[in-house]
Amino acid sequence: MSTEAARADQITTATDWGGGTHPYRIGHRKLGMWLFIVSDALTFSALLVGYSYVRATSDQWATPFPFYPSIVFSSVMTLCLLSSSLTMVMGVSASARADYKAVRKWIGLTILFGAAFIVLHLIEWKHLLDEGLRPFSLPEEWLRPDRWPQASPLFGATFFAITGLHMFHVLTGLIYLAVVAARAPKLKHEDVEISGLYWHFVDLVWMFVFPLIYLLSVDFTPPVH
Amino acid sequence: MATHAEGEHFAGTNKLFISVWVWLLLMTGLEVFLGYIHIRFALMLTILIGLSIIKAALIVAYFMHLRFERLSLVLTLVPMLVICICLLLVFFPDSFRNRNQRYKFETDKPLMTTSGDEEE
């Protein structure tokens, strides 16, 4: 008991750079999640820089996203992710009050928003696949002389790689959150917070993917029927 | 404000989180609007990236609680991430060099055909 008290004392009284067992005043799992997030942020940065490199070095880059469905879908998807972050915050504060019924409700809503994101994104992928977009080739329609005849065929590679990896993160997050919601009463509050960190990070990545992939490729050419 | 138990720290109120969410939505709306006005690509890219960085900072600071964590944690995580991401930018001069070389080649081509030299 006395060692427990000494440990608690160390946690609360250690100075910022004083070291000790809890130099950051967070548990080792939370620190681990933060370090994972930093490394994952670098993964996405590298992918986005790779996409920008290819785009900057190409003679022409397809800008094929029409207002409907692409921009409307991706905007609603952004709304879903932002709202899911808010419900996740509510879930974490319910967990701080040890109100597990509310934790399940809020995390359930978060999962619902996340699932809506994935469904909308898959529909959006299907539009593009039906048009004929593939990872290493553009649809014939896009290569028409009045559209983007010189466009780099790597559009699909960058699009599917970046949005695909992001979608995989959302899917993993949904499974993670479902496990956390199911086991909430047995978990420490910090463990629920950690799942929140991961979820907010997935939201954060989308804040860069959405403008760079979608908004910089808006189609201004009038539709031809 | 209620006093928290020892070891706990201030972590924001629902009102704060809702206002952060509203700001994030407003900035997203502004980004979508910007996508539809014709301005220079470089300017648009700068504004979009700027807004995204502000949004990311809001998410990290409030939703991910980093603002309420110790400064030592912030200083351990953020500067190294920023430096590493900035280091990735060293690739861009090469991408422009690559493109300019190709353009030079293409402008050379007609010169060669006008001089009657078409062996290629």
Q: Supply the ipTM of this predicted assembly.
A: 0.88
DSSP letter string, A104-131: HHHHHHHHHHHHHHHHHHHHHHHHHHHH
Which residues lie closer than 8 Å to A106 by C-beta, 6 or more apart? A87, A88, A90, A91, A94
One domain for residues B60 and B92:
no
Return d(Cα B26, Cα B32) in angstroms, integer. 10
Q: Between A183 and A15, whose confidence is greater?
A: A183
| pLDDT tens string A69-99 | 999 999 999 999 999 999 999 999 999 999 9
| Confidence band of A27 (pLDDT split at 50, 70, 90) | confident
Return d(Cα B77, Cα B99) in angstroms, integer. 36
Cβ atoms within 10 Å of B13's Cβ, excluding its own: 11
CB B88 within 8 A of CB A46: yes
CB A84 within 8 A of CB A173: no
Number of domains making up chain B: 2
Q: Considering the entire predicted model, what is its pTM?
A: 0.87
Give the closest-approach CA distance of B84 to chain A in angstroms. 8
Among A106, A72, A105, A111, which Cα is nearest to A210's? A72
One domain for residues B27 and B57:
yes
Q: CB B21 to CB A82 under 8 A?
A: yes
Q: How is chain A split into domains, by residue range?
A: 27-217
One domain for residues B48 and B82:
no
> Does some domain include residue B48?
yes
Give the closest-approach CA distance of A208 to chain B in angstroms. 6
* Of B41, B45, B63, Cβ closest to residue A89: B63
Q: Cβ contacts (< 8 Å) between B34 and chain A: which residues?
A: 215
> Does some domain include residue B60?
yes
Residue B88's domain comprises: 70-97
For residue A65, the cross-strand partners are A218
* Of B34, B72, B98, Cβ closest to residue A57: B98
A27-217: in CATH 3.40.190.10: no
Q: Which residue has the tokens 């930018």?
A: B89
